[in-house]
Chains A and B, each alone.
Chain A
Amino acid sequence: MIVRDMGVRQARKALAAPLRKACLRALSTQPTQPTPTGVVDLTEPTLQSPNVNPQPPSIFNAKIRAPARKKKPAAPDTTVADYKLALEVKNYIGQVGSRVERTYRPGDVFLNPPGPKDVTLELLMASQAHMGHHASLWNPANARYIYGIRQGIHIISLEETAAHLRRAARVVEEVAYRGGLILFVGTRPGQTQIVTQAAKLARACHLFTKWTPGSITNSEVILNGMPMQMLDEHDEPVEGFNRHLTERRPLIPDLVVCLNPMENYVLLHECALVNVPTIGVIDTNAEPTWVTYAIPANDDSLRCLAVIGSVLGRAGQIGHERRISDAKKGIVSWKTPLDVAKFMALERKKAEQQGKAATEASQGRPYVTEEDEAGFDTGFQQSHTTGARSNPELD
């Protein structure tokens, strides 16, 4: 301690309290807190100050009150008005100022999806389709797609990519034109939007969750009871195939587009087993023989996959539109599947027989309705419509 301060400190301590008290007492007109004496205080308890007999602090007597909540004055909710005003202001001053050209916006590929005509090397380069894997990870079967090595990674030849992408687009377009069922598969995280958009454009199916093994080779079990519909040449749903739809085998895609073949070996294998053509994005480490039509490109870039997916989706859309417009002219390039044709033939036969029976009945025999002859479900219908148990044997 510094010696010169000591006097000040100690003196302050020694003098401060009594002096202040004395001064206060001199100044105040009212008596201050009395010093504890042995005498019992006989004043009324209400007049005593609360600190007369200070109790030892105890947790059981601690007076704790929850802090009073401050209520904010209820302001009128102006959210909607503010939002509308903001939109208005944005509309008003949106065009003001210098024009900034934005060359890349991530959402553009979904707002305005490029089609097969828009495939250029610049687009592919910009979307990083040329980036392969580290040279040590390569699959030598991809040698013909590889342009060279730069900084240790393989560079995919974009000319090859563009050519293969155009070819794949052509395949998709023709399958769509012939009324085939296309399936877009992208099961990595982040590929959902790409796959669903492509499927929406091409009126196809999408898959962004795990491929259930056996959905093609064991489809009777795995896809049993999935809802289907019957479409005619104008893609209008057709009635009257309820029985066939509940009885028929599940559908098998006519073309599978796989954005990540490395993770979907089972799917591609199943497709190969039943002769379903496949299109796959083949990176430098992938096996190109797993797919029928390879597109050598970077399968790790979502931007690249979005371009590829939208190109293929657009191709499907073009094929679909061409099919519909041709159907209006009376040109239909597909045939009714064999099982459906068989079902229709059987139904026709049955209808003829019923017609004959009906004519006979109208000539001589008592009247028998169509429903009585048809089968179980129509029997149910009759019992339902009459509202009584018309056929006690069934119960």
Chain B
Amino acid sequence: MSSLRYSLRCLRDLRATATRQSSLSASIKAASTCSGTRRTFTTTTARQDDGFERLQEAVTQSPDAAELDVTRVRPMPLSPSYFSRHTQFNDSFVLVQDLARKYGRLPILPPNQAPRVAWKTKEQYRLAVGEAVKARDYASCIALAKRLNQIHPDLMPEEVQKGLRPFKRDINFYLNRAKPILVDRFGRSHGVGRRKSSVARAWLVQGTGEVLINGKTLNDAFGRVHDRESALWGLKVMDRMDKYNVWALVEGGGTTGQAEALAMAVSKALTVHEPALKTPLKKGKSMPYPYNFCARIFLICIKLVVSLAIRGKSRERSLAMSKRERCPPGSSDKTSQIRCFTIRLVGYFLTGLSSRRMPTWGIYRPDWHEAKLRTLWSILPI
């Protein structure tokens, strides 16, 4: 790390001194910029500073050519933040503060409508500039930068764009768009799914419901009924079992992983044929069960919490939690352990709900999920 920092600093030194360009490198640079503009579409921003180019420039300069005619020279710091040790960061920080002060009154977009930017994390920024920037300083700086980014795009000054550039990542991955999958000339659609360490590739054609997985039938490929069901769950849920033929390749992992990777692959391939099915498949909604699984869990959680609160269990709960934390598992009494377990489960559900991850929980399976819920329900002290 220290050697890396040292080399970065050396590069910076070279840049610092290499202000004048030789004509050859200038022409090269011009050519390179021309080629850059010729590219029609790219998600990456142009690299601002090319270290190697600077190195080359600095090296090709003659080291002691110009100094003979100079009478007086004195060394001065390149940056006004020389004594703060984080010169680059503090310069950008001061600039961002000035910009925020100057352009703080321009109309802004609400945060969810502002153009999404992949900001550098603190670690990435540290690595990029080679300075051990403090977390608090970086946080306050990036907060200002985000506020500046909210300025209405039509009124965004060029100065602000330039000032925010050091805090943006080189590649804005939010601009990436997934390549659309198409049905090929044989009428096949291709989908890839991964689960645990298995990777499945599935090809769907319209047909009569034949399935071949690694050249085997479904029953040969998967011994467990549960796996067979989950492998084709997307088709089953949408009532398309008899309308498509599946030819799939799975590798890696165990049977469960393979089956569930297949479920993903098949569902993706199905959405290529029928894009309208994407939403119900993604939400885990299924045709025979058109109710929202997440909402139901939410109801259960609410009911649990309310009942616990009404019965004055909250105090008991805290006692049980603390007891569990204090003593090793098994040593406390059974009821308190069960309560702890249920409460923890409820907590997981609630956190899942609050973080909006619920709709992507996967495909809702009535047998499995409801069994779990029933057991949960029977344990509860309600």
The one of B12, B17, B291 in contact with A241, judged by C-beta atoms closer than 8 angstroms, is: B17
Interface contact A226-B74, CB-CB below 8 Å: no
Q: Can you name the residue of chain B whose Cβ is closest to the Cβ of A381?
A: B59
Contacts of B13 in A (CB 8 A): 225, 227, 242, 245-246
B9-20: contact bitstring with A at CB < 8 Å (1 yes, 0 no)?
110111111011
Interface contact A239-B292, CB-CB below 8 Å: no
Interface contact A336-B291, CB-CB below 8 Å: no
Interface contact B90-A209, CB-CB below 8 Å: yes
Interface contact A337-B75, CB-CB below 8 Å: yes
A45-83: contact bitstring with B at CB < 8 Å (1 yes, 0 no)?
000000000000001101111100000000000011011
Interface contact A228-B16, CB-CB below 8 Å: yes
Interface contact A205-B70, CB-CB below 8 Å: no
Instruction: Kindly state whether residue B4 has any CB partner on chain A within 8 Å.
Output: no
Interface contact A63-B291, CB-CB below 8 Å: yes
Q: Report the minimum CB–CB distance from B382 to chain A (whole Å).
A: 11
Contact A229/B300 with A204-B80, A222-B85 known, Cβ cut-off 8 Å: no
Instruction: Kindly state whether residue B84 has any CB partner on chain A within 8 Å.
Output: yes
Instruction: Kindly state whether residue B314 has any CB partner on chain A within 8 Å.
Output: no
Inter-chain CA distance A238–B299, complex, in Å, is 74
Instruction: Kindly state whether residue A139 has any CB partner on chain B within 8 Å.
Output: no
Interface size on A, residues (CB 8 A): 70
- Of A64, A233, A374, most buried by chain B (CB within 10 Å of CB) is A64
Instruction: Kindly state whether residue A137 has any CB partner on chain B within 8 Å.
Output: no
Q: Can you name the residue of chain A whose Cβ is closest to the Cβ of B14?
A: A242
Interface contact A245-B75, CB-CB below 8 Å: yes
Contacts of B28 in A (CB 8 A): none
Inter-chain CA distance A225–B106, complex, in Å, is 40
Interface contact A223-B106, CB-CB below 8 Å: no
Interface contact A239-B65, CB-CB below 8 Å: yes
B53-93: contact bitstring with A at CB < 8 Å (1 yes, 0 no)?
00010111111111110111111111111111111001000
Q: Can you name the residue of chain B whose Cβ is closest to the Cβ of A211?
A: B83
Q: Report the minimum CB–CB distance from A219 to chain B (whole Å).
A: 9
A238-280: contact bitstring with B at CB < 8 Å (1 yes, 0 no)?
1111110110100101000000000000000000000000000
Contacts of B106 in A (CB 8 A): 83
Contact A226/B87 with A63-B291, A205-B81 known, Cβ cut-off 8 Å: yes
Instruction: Kindly state whether residue A207 has any CB partner on chain B within 8 Å.
Output: yes
Instruction: Kindly state whether residue B137 has any CB partner on chain A within 8 Å.
Output: yes
Contacts of A372 in B (CB 8 A): none
Contacts of A248 in B (CB 8 A): 75
Interface contact A231-B303, CB-CB below 8 Å: no
Instruction: Kindly state whether residue A384 has any CB partner on chain B within 8 Å.
Output: yes
29 A-B residue pairs with Cβ-Cβ distance under 8 Å, sorted by A, are: A62-B299, A79-B154, A79-B155, A82-B107, A192-B97, A196-B80, A199-B80, A205-B81, A215-B85, A223-B82, A224-B9, A226-B9, A227-B15, A228-B16, A228-B76, A230-B73, A230-B74, A231-B75, A232-B71, A232-B72, A238-B70, A239-B65, A239-B66, A240-B67, A243-B64, A248-B75, A336-B72, A344-B67, A381-B60
